[in-house]
Amino acid sequence: MPEALTVRRLSLAFSGLRAVDDLSFEVCEGSVCGLIGPNGAGKTTILNCLTRIATPDAGAVSVFGEDLLARPVHALAGLGVMRTFQNLELFSELTALDNVAMGCAAGHRAGWAAELLGLPAARRAREIAYARAEETLAALGLQAVGDRVVADLPFGTQKSVELARALVARPRLLMMDEPAAGMNTAESAALGRAIRDLARERGMTILLVEHDMGLVMSACDRIVVVVQGRRIAEGTPQEIRADRQVIEAYLGQAAA
């Protein structure tokens, strides 16, 4: 299968601290790839580099054959790349529906001039975006919270709203930063099934950063393990579970 995401020799240092260190890996289209490692390993920083929120010091990233680093951050949605954030980045004062509509707003917009004049094109764009947002909220069982201000919702619901905001854009590549944090076992199992369905039924490529090993092992096709910004292992869940280095550096401590 063709590669959806290729990362080559990516490096980023914060005043001497090598958060990402000469990292390479690739993710096949339609597969689920786990990115795991201990706290502070650099996982979020890697996602930030892959979504143009951080700019790496060195390296190359291509997404569906496009050179990602040549593009500005706001161009990624158009390439079909969406993400969620470890410490929620919702539009706190807006309703859940507004938040989700924002996920696909840029693709539908009719332009400033049409919007100022209230032209039918601008009104239709808004209707389409909101219809899609409602559909996506309903698919996640969230239709009841659509008109609630997100800041007033429980943490878990906020996470789901953020996921809906990413999904409404029908991304080709979805990156999730610890989606299961704060979930119980049943919820995390359901999330695992949902992730598998997205990959299998919609052909979505998923990069999953997660500490919940049950979820990672059951949902992922392949797993990349990072420690101190370096890749120490890469393979199928079975291979990773059996990898001595991984057990020493991460899994052993996670199990303890």
Ligand X SMILES: Nc1ncnc2c1ncn2[C@@H]1O[C@H](COP(=O)(O)OP(=O)(O)OP(=O)(O)O)[C@@H](O)[C@H]1O
Closest to 222 (Cα-Cα) out of 30, 91, 68, 58: 30
Residue positions counted in the chain:
256
- The CA-based diameter of the chain, rounded to the nearest angstrom, is 64
Closest to 20 (Cα-Cα) out of 46, 1, 48: 46
Closest to other proteins by CB, 119 or 232 = 119
φ, ψ of residue 159 in degrees (nearest 5): -60, -40
Closest to 103 (Cα-Cα) out of 133, 126, 124: 133
Element (H, E) at 176: strand 173-177
Q: How far is the CB of 237 from ligand X (least distance, A)?
A: 19
Applying the rule CB under 8 A, the residues between 161 and 190 that interact with other proteins are 165, 169
Q: Which of 1, 15, 65, 112 binds other proteins (CB under 8 A)?
A: 112
Which burial class, exposed, middle or buried, applies to 169 when counting CB atoms under 10 A from its CB (0-12, 13-18, 19+)?
buried
Q: Which of 30, 34, 42, 171 binds ligand X (CB under 6 A)?
A: 42
Q: How far is the CB of 86 from ligand X (least distance, A)?
A: 6
Closest to 23 (Cα-Cα) out of 31, 37, 12: 12
Under rule CB under 6 A, residue 84 binds ligand X: no
Which of these ranges, 17-25, 116-124, 190-198, 244-252, lies near other proteins under the rule CB under 8 A?
116-124
Closest to ligand X by CB, 30 or 42 = 42
Under rule CB under 5 A, residue 45 binds Mg ion: no
Interface residues toward ligand X, by CB under 6 A? 14, 17, 19, 37, 39-45, 86
Interface residues toward other proteins, by CB under 8 A? 51, 53, 72-78, 82-83, 85, 89-94, 98, 101-103, 105-112, 115-118, 122-123, 125-126, 129, 165, 169
Interface residues toward Mg ion, by CB under 5 A? 43-44, 86
